Amino acid sequence: MKHVFKQKSPLKQFVSELLSGNTVTLARAITLCESQKTADRKKANDLLQEILPHTGRSLRIGITGSPGVGKSTFIDAFGKSLTSLGKKVSVLAIDPSSAKTKGSILGDRTRMEELSKDPLAFIRPTATGNSLGGVADKTREAILLCEAAGYEIIIVETVGVGQSETTVRGMVDFFLLLQLAGAGDELQGIKKGIMEMADGLVITKADGENEKRARQAQTEFQHALHLFQPSELGWTPKVLTCSALEKKGIDEIWKLIEAFHSFTTKNKSFRKNRDRQNLSWFHESIDSLLKRDIFQSSKYSTKIKSMEKKISSGKIMPSLAADEILKMLLK
């Protein structure tokens, strides 16, 4: 990462440009946070600490769903609806990574044709890299940077639906699950865990011949949600239908999210949820930094290679080998 903080543009100037909503500076700031270079990590931490007082004022919305459910099409229509209300919208579209290059391979920006042209919108496609949870390694940092740049609504679009793709719930305020009508019972086992965490569920593509099936699915899913344990936020999830192509049901979804925000603000669970998420981020960061330092340190590399050989030859249990490395760390 070169020349992020130029001589004519030190940290204070860079922050000033970011706070003014400069999208080029915002994009550079996110790239800086994604960098793995030691020098860039120091700059990124300084930047994030500087903008911290200007963060936390947005509404963070996570959107997930099976491949083919129409996440990008929905976000395109939903985002345009929000910008028509004068709101600044940022979309962090998390794409699957190429196994060879680690780069993003879908390019959601090209599938949000209308929103990508909107001056009130900022779309950032990001590869997942080595991260699980359906989000990129530095999604939390990107959220803070977008907030500092003045974006009122932050949308995090996850890769899809799977057992490991629920991390997004731990970094957003409202978690929206998109579902297709008539997708079949084979998907429900995968979605049960995510459905239990959803604050709202939307049956997409409710148009044409599919509209009747969508209404039926709405009833079935609403019944299914009633069987789950009540949310710790005190909120009762609702199921809606929409057609992104026909722009039907989009306004109702925003009203639902507004109702959620009002409800959780009044009962103080909104703030408590944010506090829990920050503590979780703190603990995850410790895990990540420890792992990185152990594997990058020459002090431990010889011992790790020795343990790997013993594990491969069946001479030691992986868990016992890990204990040996930990003992070295704690000396």
- Domain containing 263 — which CATH number? 3.40.50.300
The SS3 assignment for 156 reads strand
The SS3 assignment for 302 reads helix
Could you tell me if 238 and 305 lie in one domain? no
Chain centroid to CA 329: 32
Answer yes or no: is 272 within a domain. no
Give the whole-angstrom CA distance, residue 7 versus residue 64. Answer: 42
Query: Within 10 A of 68 (CB to CB), how many other CB atoms are there?
Result: 11
**Residue range(s) defining the domain that contains residue 298:** 278-330
pLDDT in tens, the chain (331 residues): 555 555 445 899 999 999 999 999 999 999 999 888 888 989 999 999 999 999 999 999 999 988 889 999 999 999 999 999 999 999 998 765 443 444 444 445 557 889 999 999 999 987 555 444 334 468 899 999 999 999 999 999 887 655 445 678 889 999 999 998 875 543 454 456 778 889 999 999 999 999 999 999 999 888 888 888 778 888 999 999 999 999 999 999 999 999 999 999 999 999 999 999 999 999 988 888 888 888 888 888 889 999 999 999 999 999 999 999 988 888 7
Q: What angle do CA 277, 171, 119 make, to 5 degrees?
A: 140
Could you tell me if 68 and 181 lie in one domain? yes
Could you tell me if 115 and 213 lie in one domain? yes
Could you tell me if 127 and 195 lie in one domain? yes
Could you tell me if 38 and 171 lie in one domain? no
Q: Quick one: tokens of 186? A: 């084979």
Could you tell me if 139 and 234 lie in one domain? yes
Q: Which residue carries 């963070």 as its tokens?
A: 60
The CATH number assigned to the domain holding 23 equals 1.20.5
| Residue 273: partners with Cβ closer than 8 Å, 6 or more residues away | 173, 233, 264
Give the global pTM. Answer: 0.86
Answer yes or no: is 147 within a domain. yes
* Total number of domains constituting the chain: 3
Find out whether 112 and 124 touch, Cβ atoms under 8 Å.
no
Give the whole-angstrom CA distance, residue 253 versus residue 132. Answer: 28
Answer yes or no: is 273 within a domain. no
Could you tell me if 66 and 145 lie in one domain? yes
